[in-house]
Amino acid sequence: MEKLQLQKREVLGKKVRHLRKEGLTPAVVYNSKGESFNTSMSTSDAEWLYRNTTSTTILDTELEKDSFKTLVKEFSINPVTEQINHVSLFKIDESVSMIFTIPFNIVGISPAVKNNLGVLVNVLDSIDVRCKLSELQPYIEIDISNLDRQGQTINVNDIELPKGMSLINDDLANATIVTITEAQKVEEIVVAPTEEESAEGEETPEGEEATTPTEEAK
């Protein structure tokens, strides 16, 4: 998609269902000042956004004669029909720092995992940072090639954030991103058959008839 085309929307509330019949999906654009305005986009564009965008995908957007950049912040999905009910967009101010959610990208091969000495557990898959649009990176790489034994971890304070990025929550500095844990052993449990199951499993030798015990003669 080269540009996301938006149209101003006057229709609100339950009346938006008429938009969907026209191949349009309701949307809203808001900015860092807390302002928002109602728009709509083609349903095909909404579906493309749902399939292809991430938290760091920058969209060139047009609304009438105004051009700006946006991020998709949220999709509202009908749980029954899986139809996209609504799309929320955030208008980017390129001159100021903003909060972005940056995913982690795991790279390399852990010797501990390769040699079956442990299992890699991904504890944290993204982090919130503050930076300008010009400093935004699509992801932060986490190299696990030095994890060669159980108990090793990579924490947030072990990595170097890209230039211009800073943590939003300092409490996450000690948070674990990945760790190597002990591989759990699967034990096979053998259950002894009950007396009833044992009896059901017994077969009468071929050619012989099953008999019922009788009371001994006195």
Q: What is the pLDDT of residues 68-114, one digit of tens each?
A: 999 999 999 988 988 898 999 999 988 889 888 999 999 999 999 99
> What is the model's pLDDT at position 190?
56
Q: Please, which pLDDT band fits residue 207 given cuts at 50, 70 and 90?
A: very low
Average pLDDT value over all residues in the chain: 84
> What is the model's pLDDT at position 62?
95
Q: What is the pLDDT of residues 184-205, one digit of tens each?
A: 655 555 555 655 555 555 544 4
Backbone angles phi, psi at 68, to 5 degrees: -160, 175
Residue whose structure tokens are 């083609």: 42
For each of the domains in the chain, give its residue range(s) and CATH number, in order of start: 4-91 (2.40.240.10), 98-181 (2.170.120.20)
- The closest alpha carbon to 87, from 41, 54, 52, 32, belongs to 41
> What is the model's pLDDT at position 20?
79
Could you give the strand order of the β-sheet that contains 140-143, starting from the edge strand earlier in sequence? Answer: 140-143, 98-107, 126-131, 166-167
Q: 51-61 burial, b if ≥16 CB within 10 A, otherwise e?
A: eebeeeeebeb
Is pTM, for the whole model, over 0.85? no
- The closest alpha carbon to 104, from 145, 172, 156, 51, belongs to 156
